[in-house]
Structure 1
Amino acid sequence: MHVLGNRRRHWLVSKDHVDMTAAGPKPKRITLEAEPQRITVDLARTAIIVVDMQNDFCSAGGWLDHIGVDYTPAREPIEPLNRLLPALRSEDVPVIWLNWGNRPDLLNISPSLLHVYNMTGDDVGLGGILPATGSAVLEKDSWGAAVVDELVIEPSDIRVDKYRMSGFWDTPLDSILRNLGIDTLLFAGVNLDQCVMTTLQDAVCLGYNGVLLRDCSATTSPDFCREAALYNIKQCFGFVSSGGAILSALRAG
């Protein structure tokens, strides 16, 4: 028999037989403190999506820094993620880095989206060159689109480029998750009220279970934006927990 697929979801195939019933990973249930209720999740069917922890959003000399936004709040998830991600990897939970990574010609970016980041037409917007670094803003393989150096990306991690606020639009993210047999998504990264929120919303609309990790997420927006996002996630889309709650549950066994 030959295996077609991946370790989590596959068929066993021979010349005269196809076995579609191959067992997935054994369930690994943990119970987390969360809002509005405690939740029990199966780590064997869970992935974490880390959104936009990139130099243009989180580093000195990046895009936000260039346009005068205080980027330091966007760095708050770094240490919590560095504590959480190794523990999740040890439980075989896929780590997905979901990042802006535009085409150099910007042919997949509409004028409406370009306008969001360049309202006067003469600012440094998507694809523009930052004077301090010479990096093209959020262009795939540029310095600005790279994940910050302080976060460790392992070879087993998965990278997905996005081109909108939501990571599900015009990307392979949904196909990857379904082929991994994932039904629960942990969300982290920046900005909580923008790309993290819209990706979580789309995930729930597609039928995934959405869990926002409060301590592993941040925003450079005003506090009322963060509070509104947390309220809407708890009220309409899923649950709010924390990386600390996951670590506590893992230590408790």
Structure 2
Amino acid sequence: MKKTALLVIDVQQGLCEGEHDAFESQQVIGRINRVSDKARAAGALVVFIQHESKSGYLEFETDAWQLARGLHVEPTDLRIRKTTPDSFHRTELERLLNHHAITDLVICGMHTEFCVDTTTRRALALGFPVVLVEDAHTTEGNRHLSPIQVIRHHNETLTNISSFGPRVRAIPTDDLRFGAWQHSSGGDHAGT
């Protein structure tokens, strides 16, 4: 039997308001809340991952480091602290997933082209199939690409990586069904 974990990456105050407020961050938080509610109802493990630096921006326990206002977190949810874009690198995440016999991951959060991308690729390399919640990850964008372009690019690129073996499937919040992976329009997303 497959077991799923939801990874909510870097949905933190400093990335959701003020100068570094990511694109549509409040709408993304709302979608992440719906996804995490579905995950908990299905008995999936919910893990909130927080990026931190030793000084300055996103320093541990500062206001910017805290999980974003409006994000629903339950006492049964787990937390992981990280210091690189890779949520597995020098963290307890892989051990935690193995301890809970997790076989599949659902990933959402911030920023698309950094921590979401890097963690997704590392998950594939470690053997975890991934569902990327296609409308529940976001970014600030950059001087060459708008946030929408970055998000669409990663939804397309990550789902086309096949060399790891496990694959990424992009599914929107409203179509996500934990345990069944069935698309409401009838598409076949079986496998978890």
Residue 77 (structure 1) aligns with: 28
Matched, 1:48 2:48: no
What is the distance in 1 between the residues matched to 2:86 and 2:10?
11
Unaligned runs of 5+ in 1: 1-26, 28-41, 107-126, 129-136
Residue in structure 1 matching 2:107, options 176, 187, 190: 187
Verify: 1:239 aligned to 2:174, yes or no: no
SS of the aligned residue for 1:142 comes to coil
- The runs of 5 or more residues in structure 2 that have no matched partner are 162-166, 185-192
Distance 1:57 1:188, change over 3 A: same
Please give the alpha-carbon distance, in whole angstroms, between the structure 1 residues aligned to 2:58 and 2:87.
Answer: 14
Counterpart residue type for residue 177 of structure 1: L
Given residue 234 of structure 1, which amino acid in structure 2 is its aligned partner? T
Structure 1 CA distance for aligned equivalents of residues 118 and 71 of structure 2: 23
Kept in 2, the 8 Å contact 1:74–1:191? The answer is no
**For residues 44-95 of structure 1, what are the alpha-carbon distances to aligned partners after superposition, in whole Å with 9 as ceiling and x for unaligned?**
x1000001100110123xxxx1xxx553433331111222212211211111
Counterpart CA distance in 2 for 1:71 and 1:245 is 24
**Correspondence for 2:150 among 225, 229, 239:** 225
Q: Structure 1 length as normaliser, TM-score?
A: 0.63
| CA offset digits 1:190-245 (Å, max 9, x no partner) | 11121111100000001111110012212221233222211211100511112211
Identify the residue that residue 95 of structure 1 maps to in structure 2. 46
The number of residue pairs the alignment matches comes to: 172
Q: Which residue of 1 aligns with 2:81?
A: 161
Cα displacement string for residues 6-56 of structure 1 (whole angstroms, at most 9, x for unaligned residues):
xxxxxxxxxxxxxxxxxxxxx4xxxxxxxxxxxxxx4xx100000110011
Runs (4+) of structure 1 exceeding 3 A deviation are 69-72, 247-252
Moved more, 137-146 or 156-165: 137-146
> Percent identity between the aligned chains?
23
Q: Determine the C-alpha separation between the residues in 2 that align with 1:139 and 1:194.
A: 18
Say if 1:226 and 1:81 are closer, same or farther in 2 by CA, change over 3 A.
closer
Q: Secondary structure at the match of 1:76?
A: helix
TM-score by length of 2: 0.82
User: 1:77 is matched by which residue type in structure 2?
Assistant: V
RMSD: 2.1
**1:155-198 CA distances to partner (integer Å, 9 max, x unpaired)?**
10000001011101111111100111001000011111211111
Indicate the SS of the match to 2:24: helix
The answer to whether the Cα contact below 8 Å between 1:162 and 1:171 also exists between their aligned partners in 2 is: yes
**1:87–1:224 Cα change, 3 Å:** closer
Larger Rg: 1
1-structure distance, mates of 2:152, 2:38: 28
Q: Is 1:200 the equivalent of 2:158?
A: no
- The equivalences for 1:139-154 within 5 A come to 139-154=59-74
Matched residue, 2:17: 59
Whether the aligned pair in 2 keeps the contact of 1:211 and 1:240 (CA below 8 Å) is: yes
Classify the secondary structure of the residue corresponding to 1:188.
Answer: strand
